Structure 1
């Protein structure tokens, strides 16, 4: 079974926790606020519009229906599908859930299969790939309102993106891409943003070496790609 999944969190640091969960699969459409055990930072609320007051009476993750559902679905035969899956999996790991089945990261798959786009966030892809043209009927059939950055809405957009990616690669290929490093062709930010990394490695390798040494939280696929082109220039 495919489990389309999204979390909203208090931030992206090691200290941060889940504050909402969305699950969409053939048997469940589930959304739940979660008490994160800490005050909601304004920067996080500005993204997902979830406040400390909204989660004040919500259950802790371990006592939540979301936890019960995910534990029941955590089987080798099930596949978790998420946009930026390593982040969502890291958040689940903090709550004691280590996913047992396959994982598809739609963010990584989109980067691997469409390497010439200007962005890869879920909402960017929603418009770039014109998923919005079908979303009204898709969401109406599910009985869910479109609400970007709310977890169930985002989980359903992940489902739409997964269906789009199936036109570019089959399910097993998406699993394989998600398991491995991908070789990115363009630098996503910095003074050479959108330029080919292979060309930068020839013209200004010092800049790429500086990135490797200085940006310790760099995306693992970007680090892999920079290192690859520096070694093969």
Structure 2
């Protein structure tokens, strides 16, 4: 039977040199749930902006082993096989951080952020904490946390994994409504591999408030410039810009 690994990390920041300082995940094995949650040290200082988000301060990780030497990391490596499924909200970020620890996932991947963009396309945001409130998950999370011995804290790795577990159930419900009797894991993996075309107005730049299609009709060069110069663009935005440029 496949294991389902719901994972999140907290880090020193979001830059190229930043590293993991908390690795938290749950392993779902049938009805059994095992929780792994380790704080870890880093030679990279924690950015103040990161502290503001997750509340992890230098004294909290002082004397801790680096990520690759934690029990959580070693167990993750042990169960890293193609039979298992790795579930992350915004997977590219966490997988990128794990790659700095020389971890490359062999598991099937479900990125609940991309799946949410497919299945909850009309929502104003797709952040995990947004859905925590939008879907009322905060009303039921304490019962789940008590059963698993987890402390609920927003932007804490294992606290976010708890919300992810509850959100996954909502994704499966929406999946059934949309596609009927399909294998939910196979379909979520498929959606993870399918880029999302962005039809919403931009929230940044000189064409803020305009859709990509509207921009392409008046200034294709700007979209080409975005592709070549804005490294922060995610895969979905790059896919959307490329598709729009091909169509005009």
Q: Tell me the TM-score normalised to structure 1 length.
A: 0.92
Instruction: Provide the C-alpha distance between the structure 1 equivalents of 2:101 and 2:35, rounded to a whole number of angstroms.
Output: 21
Out of 155, 160, 165, the residue aligned to residue 159 of structure 1 is 165
Match of 2:128 in 1: 122
1:54, distance to aligned residue in structure 2 (A) = 0.9
Out of 15, 18, 21, the residue aligned to residue 17 of structure 2 is 15
Match of 2:242 in 1: 227
Q: Tell me the TM-score normalised to structure 2 length.
A: 0.87
Instruction: Provide the C-alpha distance between the structure 2 equivalents of 1:59 and 1:128, rounded to a whole number of angstroms.
Output: 37
Residues 171 and 9 from structure 1, CA distance in 2 versus in 1: closer, same or farther, beyond 3 angstroms? Answer: same
Match of 2:181 in 1: none
Instruction: Provide the C-alpha distance between the structure 2 equivalents of 1:112 and 1:208, rounded to a whole number of angstroms.
Output: 23
Question: Does 1:55 pair with 2:61?
Answer: yes
CA contact 1:9–1:19 (8 Å) conserved in 2: yes
Give 3-state SS (helix, strand or coil) of 1:182's partner.
coil
CA contact 1:112–1:184 (8 Å) conserved in 2: no
Match of 1:132 in 2: 138
Out of 176, 179, 185, the residue aligned to residue 190 of structure 2 is 176
RMSD: 1.8
Unaligned residue ranges in structure 2 (runs of 5+): 176-183
Question: Does 1:64 pair with 2:66?
Answer: no
How far does the alpha carbon of each residue in 1:130-157 deviate from its partner, in whole angstroms, 9 at most, with x for none? 2223222222222222101111111111
Residues 185 and 18 from structure 1, CA distance in 2 versus in 1: closer, same or farther, beyond 3 angstroms? Answer: same
Question: 25-34 or 145-154: which moved more?
Answer: 25-34
Q: Which fold has the larger relative contact order, with Cα–Cα distance below 8 Å and residues 6 or more apart in sequence?
A: 1
* Aligned residue pair count: 233
Instruction: Provide the C-alpha distance between the structure 2 equivalents of 1:202 and 1:142, rounded to a whole number of angstroms.
Output: 53
How far does the alpha carbon of each residue in 1:102-121 deviate from its partner, in whole angstroms, 9 at most, with x for none? 01111111112222222121
